[in-house]
Amino acid sequence: MELHLCGGRKYNGHEEIYWQSVRDFIIGRNLTQVLFVGTASETHQGPLALQFFREKVNLNESIQIFDAEVSGELNLVHSPVVYVLGGMKQMELINLIRTNKKLERIICTCPYYFGESMGAKLVGSKLRVGTAGTPLIEGLGILKDTVIEGHYTQKQRQQVLIDEVKTENLKYGLGIDEDAEVVTNPETFPHYNKLGPGLIELITNER
């Protein structure tokens, strides 16, 4: 499982560069199905989230894009690329996944996962859904013993991440800037490759 975790999809301040990289990845590997999860978005809700994604990623019609919120579409996907959009409706996203075991299984076993902001945070074993200092809740646990913070230096979350690692006694804290992307997989993490010019910081808790 290859993870692409972005802190906020703004490479050099330009979303177009980010979306081009996603498009090139999908086309370059001849992938044919994408499962889109846009539940967390507060600016593009329901069908508008899918429309936003289609317009931004701009894939040709031979690549099928399915909506995780549409009943029945989960039955049509087979090892899809999963893309999880960010946003402030974080508990809605978590509840959607937790109450749909088939969706959770698809996400946790997909060959390629793209998550930005909340979508990146989701793969950790713990995540924050409120303001700084809010008790962490369970994530998907794809990256074990880890908490992730997006918009890292842009929203000055350095100390927040340190405190989360210490309070929860986690092994790793991963901070990702808006214009940076971590490429890794659960087997080799904490080793990762970096895309984009922004900061990525890995905090290790020597327990």
Residue 173 corresponds to which amino acid?
G
Encode burial over 84-101: b for 16+ CB neighbours within 10 A, e otherwise: bbbbebbeebbebbeeee
The pTM score is: 0.94
Say if CB 190 and CB 21 are below 8 A apart: no
For the segment 129-165, what is each residue's pLDDT rounded down to a tens digit? 988 888 899 999 999 999 999 999 998 999 999 999 9
Q: Is 178 helix (H, G, I), strand (E, B) or coil?
A: coil
pLDDT of residue 13: 60
* DSSP secondary structure letter of residue 174: E
For the segment 169-186, what is each residue's pLDDT rounded down to a tens digit? 999 999 999 999 999 999
pLDDT of residue 191: 96
**CA 99 – CA 81 distance, rounded (Å):** 21
Q: Which two tokens stand for residue 175?
A: 């901070």
